[in-house]
Amino acid sequence: MTFTKNSRVLFNSVPTGYPVPGETTVYDSTQTIDLENVSLEGGILLKTLVLSVDPYFRVLMNGEGHPASFQIGKPLYGFGIAKVLRSENTGFAIGQHVFGYNLVHEEYSVVPDPTGLQIMDKVANLPWSVYLGPAGLPGQTAYIGWKEFANAKEGETVFVTTGAGMMVIQLAKQAGLKVIASAGSEEKVKFMKSIGADVAFNYKFTDTRGVLAKEGPIDIYWDNVGGDILDAALEFSAVQGRFLECGAISGYNTGHQPLKNFHLICDRSLHIHGVLMGHLPIAKYIGEFYATMLPKLASGEIKFREDVSHGLDKMGDVILAVQKGSNKAKAVVVVAED
């Protein structure tokens, strides 16, 4: 028997604020695996290639508050790409690549029941990491949520907050809208301008209400932050405005701020839509997404950026960066090369 190191990232404790690398999550390199002989129980053996790091991780760290919460002493899990090393399942062949929403954060994983995994074929010049960003869950959520709920009309104004910006900004510009976009760093602001945002600003140093008073009213608001910026968007919303609520990261670590302008939802006949991939009409749009967006991503017509880290030992730091917004783009961790 030959044993191979099988490092992993464990959920160690429930954080009271921001997750602390080495305390909330722990990198563990003590585990080993016999890749040739480990029992597959009729399933498959995977080599993890790339893992996505997403804001919702913090929600899963709240103990028993969510049905899919991380378990103390167990590895984290999330969206990822892996390669099949061995298979006892006729639906999966050695050498194939798979995408999953609950890939375990370890170098190698035995999956006895792989029915939830999707076999992936990639466009030649797109790295696998892109399938966790603009070609994956974030990009698909933006595309399907926009198509289903935005009801965009040429000449309207959309306000896009950080985290949603890359894909939504470009979809909005293609639809002929005026785009206001905010982010928490000058680097992100510069990138948003480069992909077409008409007005882009750093909300940490620029008064959001001042910008919206000048550039609004807002017909569409794509929200990933919640909190006071959501209140500001309500304040400067247009009648029959559409609010697409995709996240509220401003409150994940410090507690959510109650809305002050809730009454404006009624006063201005606003349309509020929660945008969560699991509740979207995926089948209605996913074929269109792959047919139209993958070629545009590959050709550069749709631009994207990634914040790529290498090694499972970086996972705790990347999780913290995403929660604080210091990541430069969609965050992924490359665990191994193909």
Task: State whether 145 and 114 are in the same domain.
Answer: no
The amino acid sitting at 150 is: A
Q: Is residue 291 in some structural domain?
A: no
Task: State whether 18 and 122 are in the same domain.
Answer: yes
pTM for the full predicted model:
0.86
Task: State whether 152 and 128 are in the same domain.
Answer: no
> What domain range is 209 assigned to?
137-279
Closest CA to 180 of 147, 208, 141, 152: 208
The amino acid sitting at 230 is: L
Task: State whether 10 and 83 are in the same domain.
Answer: yes
Any idea what the CATH number is for the domain that residue 54 is in? 3.90.180.10
Share of the chain above pLDDT 70, in %: 99
Task: Report pLDDT for 165.
Answer: 64
Whole-number Å distance between alpha carbons of 46 and 5:
14
Whole-number Å distance between alpha carbons of 237 and 135:
31
Please determine, for residue 256, whether its predicted confidence score (pLDDT) is greater than 90.
no
263-270: average pLDDT: 96
Whole-number Å distance between alpha carbons of 7 and 4:
9
Task: Report pLDDT for 65.
Answer: 67
Extract the runs of DSSP E, i.e. beta strands, from the chain. Answer: 4-5, 8-11, 25-28, 32-33, 44-52, 77-87, 97-104, 108-111, 118-120, 157-160, 178-183, 199-202, 218-223, 237-245, 271-274, 306-310, 330-334
Please determine, for residue 188, whether its predicted confidence score (pLDDT) is greater than 70.
yes
The amino acid sitting at 114 is: P
Q: Is residue 297 in some structural domain?
A: no
Q: What is the mean pLDDT of the chain?
A: 93
Task: State whether 214 and 258 are in the same domain.
Answer: yes
Task: State whether 240 and 182 are in the same domain.
Answer: yes
Task: State pLDDT tens for residues 106-146.
Answer: 999 999 999 989 999 887 688 999 999 999 888 999 999 99
Task: State pLDDT tens for residues 277-307.
Answer: 889 999 999 999 989 999 999 999 999 989 9
Pairing of strands 218-223, 237-245: parallel
Task: State whether 192 and 260 are in the same domain.
Answer: yes
Task: State whether 8 and 127 are in the same domain.
Answer: yes
Any idea what the CATH number is for the domain that residue 204 is in? 3.40.50.720
Task: State whether 107 and 169 are in the same domain.
Answer: no
Please determine, for residue 252, whether its predicted confidence score (pLDDT) is greater than 80.
no
Q: How many domains does the chain have?
A: 2
Q: Is residue 250 in some structural domain?
A: yes
Give the pLDDT band (50/70/90) at residue 60: very high
Whole-number Å distance between alpha carbons of 198 and 178:
6
Contact 6, 31 (CB under 8 A): yes
